[in-house]
Structure 1
Amino acid sequence: MRFSGRYFVYIIVIICLLPIAELIIEAVSYSDSGFRHIYETVLFSYITNSVILTIGVVVLSSLFAIPAAWFVARYHFPMARYFSWLLMLPLALPSYVMAYLYIDWFDYTGPVQSLVRYLFGWQNQSDYWFFSIRSIGGAIFVLALSLYPYLFLLAKTAFSCQTRQYEQAAMLLKASPMRRFLKISLPLCWPAIIAGISLIAMESLSDFGAVQYFAVQTLTTAIYDTWLNLGSLSSAAKIALVLLVVIMCFIWLEKQSHKKELTALANQLSSAKKRLVGYKKYLVFLFCLVLFLLAFLLPFIQLVYYAFVYFKSAFTPRFIEISLYSFLIACIVSVACILISLLITILSRYAKKQMLVISQHLSNFGYAVPGVVLAIGVLILLTKIDYLINDITMFLFNAEVGLILSGSVFAISFAFVVRFLAISNNTFSSRLENIPSSIDNAATMLRHSPLRMFLSVHFPLMKTALIAAFILIFIEVIKELPAALILRPFNFEMLSTYVFQYMSDEMIEQASLGALLITLLSLVPLLWINRLLNNKTEQ
């Protein structure tokens, strides 16, 4: 059983890697005039926009996250305890939803410019200057508000783990607070900051919904437009390969920073917080409050208002049907990922084969790949399989069965399993690492089989991890947009694509309820993770 199970794991891992392999083969093996035209005309502008967008989001996110993390981790000020988790909530709000709301506010017909015209008596746009929200600057601002929590969480943890000995020595040398921060605290936190910046850069490059709505042409939108408008999988694969190479560089950087971070923070004691007094505590409170208002509370209140006002027009039978189908696919994908991860992690623990450990790491690769890139790889793979099946049925029965894989819900489900398998893998691995090997040895001495050992020993200890993995994967499936847009069958919508399509058509009355549902569901894992972090801190 162990032998067959081990090879079954290898087959699963190979299947998970096939979409990326097919993408690379398609990109390097075939040439067409479509990509040549893209290369000669607009590819440079796609790359330039992607670079500008990424740098802008990284810089602005750092200006938001690093000061907030420093204040929350090292100082007492009004509501500091609440800001430690309130400033993480923007992750629950999809970036394309936030993009729509900010455009709705700052566009020419929005409340901000309308108020400006009313106050100053201006009649039209020629009477005054106002920045264009539908620009790369607007996209940078919104994505920074949406993504800064990645850096905030890592930096806050790193600042909290720093010892006060270096800072106290600097105080004896009469160094100013700013100098102590720049010369001591920030360099010690640099590995965590690099890791957070890498995550933000990867998310910025992978974003599709927000940049599409801001009309910013990046590599991600180029992949989608090339497939949708030109119908060229080969050209889309070539652009996707360029994006994949850039993403891999950031992944390598993040891994290197993570290793250094573990070394830098090892054996260090958490520092005592200092109490701010006078006007400083109000300035810090105001900074955190404004950041929370702009990044989450105001957009969330606006979304709740829209959902309440347009509830009757949004709560339609079609919305209910799409929600149920989305929940069903999310449940199927979550269960599939959990079963596969259980097989991989349990066999890795019992068999103790190096190849199984390597296979587990390889199966996590799909999560690092942008959804739009993975979707193109899945489409190439399943299309080839469909053609093969049709050739076989045509030869045997003189009939074609059609696109039974690439043109069905199977394509979306398969892509989601490949993409989110890493979540359940990492969740189960971290839980199993906390179970002492002596328990396994005791069960082995009692002559328990691996199956009985798992059912009687490991499974009861992993119930929380199972629930956590199910919730996290479920929410990720509900939120995923680029892969669902490319792989959805004809006349089929996921909740994310349903919301995006209506918001793209500026029909907020139809999209508001779905957007609010996605946001509320996304709050669940964030609040749960915050509770776990607080429990660890208290211990």
Structure 2
Amino acid sequence: MTIALGVLAPLLSLLWLAFGSGLGHWARLVRDVLPQAALDTAVLLAGVGLLVLVIGTGCAWLVSTCDFPGRGVLHWALLLPLAMPTYIVAFAYLDLLHPLGPVQGALRWLLGFDSPRQFRLPDLRSMPGAIFVLGFVLYPYVYMTARAMFMTQPAHLMEAARSLGESRAGAFFRVALPLARPALAVGLSLALLETLNDIGASEFLGIRTLTVAVYTTWITRSDLAGAAQIASAMLLVVIALVLLERHGRRRQRFGSAQRMRAIQPRRLHGTAAWLASAAAALPVLVGFAAPALHLVWETVKRLRQGNGISGALIDSLLNTLGVATGVTVVAVAAGLVVAWAVRAQGSARDGARWQGRAATLGYAVPGTVLAIGLLTPALAADAALAALIGHPGLPLMGAGVVLVVACAIRFLAMPVGGIEAGLARIPPALEQAARLLGENTGGTLRRVHLPLLRPAIAASALLVFVDAMKELPATLLLRPANFDTLATRLYAEAARGTYEEGAIAALAIVVAGLLPVVLLARHGLSEATA
């Protein structure tokens, strides 16, 4: 209950701050800020949503139902863009597609032009550019859920459609796709929530979304009340996306208890096979390989020039590891408490179910919204603590405690979900046996459940650690003074246009992000072959 209320507290504080600051702010925001920010946000969400649906669903159907050269590798390689934070891909492509960059330079050489004035590609700093970048990074959310659904659909349904005269395309659109709609809704809502949370890519590419408006209103204009009001407007978008995900999961189960024969991949030959390989490889190339190779090249070039790794970058790395470690410890400990409380009280009870859902609400809330909501309680706690210890200042914010709490709230859903899944695999008979042998609740947890939960806890800790390393919005707003992480350092370098300085920081974040993606790919492959 305490953890659930702690997650809800920033949202309640945000609403209090937004609606307690008078109508003057609202009038100005409605007139000058919200229309353009809301329009840009809506267009961006619509464009990214369409792109991730097309790429994710198409690639999932291709690797699930067709056999072509490279399918065994692309089956898991299509997950690799998950290792690339959106702001890093935007950072890389701004350099790659610069008018004086390597891509446009090579195109002008091939076409016989000498100057960017004679030929140049459309500017990436635009709405289409933002949709392109975010879509090719976030499509794996749809790909994962759609592939899992396609691989478990009974083969006889497609065979029945074909026997009734439907073409392969017709059977896909009239049978397979409607059955996959719940999975597509879940993946789409996750991709859109990540789009709404993004601040770096949108700002780099010149798109003034609601998230960017919150940041600039607070930091640039020093208008906390206005930022809170924009953030409260974002909650409406979050609620709509959560309702979309809930509606999709409402009809997630299909079929009977009998195990059905899965769809067998159809072997492609000749031109069709190589076209399928190219189509499945393109998202991996655009969303991961090209930006990752560019970062490697820029890092090697910088090191060869003798510039080396600066002391500031080392400090940023140590700060990142410290924050990520603190977030992991807090989030995993809280996740264990929540999952254990739900298990002990019984998941069928309304109180336990409500607490579990409330505790995981933070993942759906953008980091900027959490930061605004936490600020007022944090300042109050800092004032009380400073008066208690007799030392003026901001002891909690200055020590990074507030930043750790914000990130722990945002990522709490991961350990709760992972540990709940681990607990579900432990038979209740083991608990009953321990209690019959005289163990109390704490002893049963310590001596029975924790040893069996080690894999689930380790996997959850890894996911939280890596996501905390990549978190940008909350870190930008709540970090202590003169405190940089790899993400904020990269953001600062990109804002200054010094891309070569940020390449090492970006590459370090990508390498860390590869760890959970590899584990996820291995887990998915093992399930597919089971």
Whether these two folds match at TM > 0.5 is yes
Distance 1:513 1:129 in 2: 28
Partner of 2:187: 196
Is the 1:88–1:526 contact (alpha carbons within 8 Å) kept by the matching residues of 2? yes
Matches within 5 A, 1:69-80: 69-80=60-71
Aligned to 1:248: 239
Amino acid in the other structure paired with 2:184: I
Is 1:295 matched up with 2:287? yes
**Per-residue displacement from partner, 1:96-128 (whole Å, max 9, x unpaired)?**
111122121222212232233334444545434
Identity of aligned residues (%): 30
Match among 338, 362, 365 for residue 369 of structure 1: 365
Q: How far apart, in 2, do the equivalents of 1:35 and 1:386 lie?
A: 29
Partner of residue 132, structure 2: 141
Q: CA deviation at 1:363?
A: 1.0
| Cross-structure match for 2:524 | 533
Letter in structure 2 aligned against 1:307: T
1:339 alignment counterpart: 333
Superposed CA offset, 1:406-434 (max 9, x none): 44411111111211122111111110011
**Aligned mates of 2:236, 2:256 — CA distance in 1:** 30
Counterpart amino acid of 2:326? I
Kept in 1: contact 2:76–2:525 (CA 8 A): no
Preserved CA contact (<8 Å) 2:403 2:475: yes
| Preserved CA contact (<8 Å) 1:209 1:500 | yes
Question: Secondary structure at 2:250's aligned position in 1?
Answer: helix
- Answering whether residue 322 of structure 2 is matched by residue 328 of structure 1, we say yes
Q: Is the 8 A contact 1:87 1:149 kept in 2?
A: yes
Amino acid at match of 1:348: V
Q: In the alignment, what sits opposite 2:176?
A: 185
Match of 2:311 among 317, 331, 349: 317
- Which one of the candidate residues 477, 480, 483 is aligned to 1:489? 480
Deviates more, 1:316-325 or 1:239-248: 316-325
Query: Which of 300, 310, 313 is residue 308 of structure 1 equivalent to?
Result: 300
Q: Is 488-497 or 440-449 further displaced after alignment?
A: 440-449
SS at match of 1:261: coil
Deviation at 1:350, TM superposition (A): 3.0
CA deviation vs aligned residue, 1:440-478 (integer Å, no higher than 9, x gap): 122222222222222221111111111111111100110
Q: Which residue of 2 aligns with 1:506?
A: 497
Structure 1 pair 268–249 and aligned structure 2 pair: CA distance change class (3 A): farther
Of stretches 177-186 and 144-153 in structure 1, the one that deviates more from structure 2 is 177-186
Match of 1:348 among 339, 342, 346: 342
In structure 2, what is the Cα distance between the partners aligned to 1:46 and 1:264? 44
Aligned to 2:269: 277
The equivalent residue for 2:465 is 474
CA drift of 1:148 comes to 0.4
What is the CA distance between 1:285 and its match in structure 2? 0.7
Q: Which region of structure 1 is more displaced relative to structure 2, 257-266 or 101-110?
A: 257-266
In structure 1, the residue matched to 2:36 is 45
Q: Secondary structure at the residue paired with 1:260?
A: coil
Structure 1 unpaired stretches of 5+: 1-9
Find the counterpart in structure 2 of residue 420 from structure 1. Answer: 411
Aligned-CA RMSD value: 2.0
Match of 1:261 among 248, 252, 255: 252
Greater Cα offset, 288-297 or 502-511: 502-511
For structure 2, the residue ranges without an aligned partner over 5 or more in a row are none
Report deviation, 1:145. 0.6
CA deviation after TM superposition for structure 1 residue 89, in Å: 0.3
Of residues 124, 149, 156 in structure 2, which corresponds to 1:165? 156
Deviation track 1:485-517 (CA, whole Å, cap 9, x = no partner) reads: 011111001121112211222222321111111
Contact in 2 for aligned 1:427/1:469 (Cα 8 Å): yes
2:121 counterpart (119, 130, 135): 130
Select between 378-387 and 430-439 the one with higher mean Cα deviation: 378-387
- The answer on 1:101 being equivalent to 2:92 is yes
Give the counterpart letter for 1:220 in structure 2. T
| Native 8 Å contact 2:96 2:294 kept in 1 | no
Map of 2:212 onto structure 1: 221
Q: Distance in 2 between matches of 1:240 and 1:268?
A: 47
Worse overlay, 378-387 or 142-151? 378-387
Question: Per the alignment, do residues 63 and 357 of structure 1 end up closer, same or farther by CA in structure 2, a change over 3 Å counting?
Answer: closer
Alignment of 1:55-94 (within 5 A): 55-94=46-85
Cα distance change of structure 1 residues 81 and 95 upon mapping to structure 2, 3 Å threshold? same
Residue pair 2:86, 2:137 contacting (<8 A) in 1 also: yes
Instruction: Evaluate the alpha carbon distance shift between residue 159 and residue 489 of structure 1 in structure 2; reply closer, same or farther with a 3 A threshold.
Output: same
Which secondary structure does the structure 1 equivalent of 2:412 belong to?
A: helix
**CA distance, structure 1, for counterparts of residue 264 and residue 448 of structure 2:** 40
Partner Cα distance (2:30, 2:115) in 1: 40
Structure 1, 150-159 or 447-456: larger mean CA deviation: 447-456
Q: How many aligned residue pairs are there?
A: 525
1:384 aligns with 2:380: yes
Distance in 2 (CA, whole Å) between partners of 1:518 and 1:346 is 32
Please give the alpha-carbon distance, in whole angstroms, between the structure 1 residues aligned to 2:136 and 2:107: 24
Residue identity opposite 1:308 in structure 2: V
SS of 2:162's equivalent in the other structure is: helix
Preserved contact between residue 161 and residue 268 of structure 1 (Cα < 8 Å): no
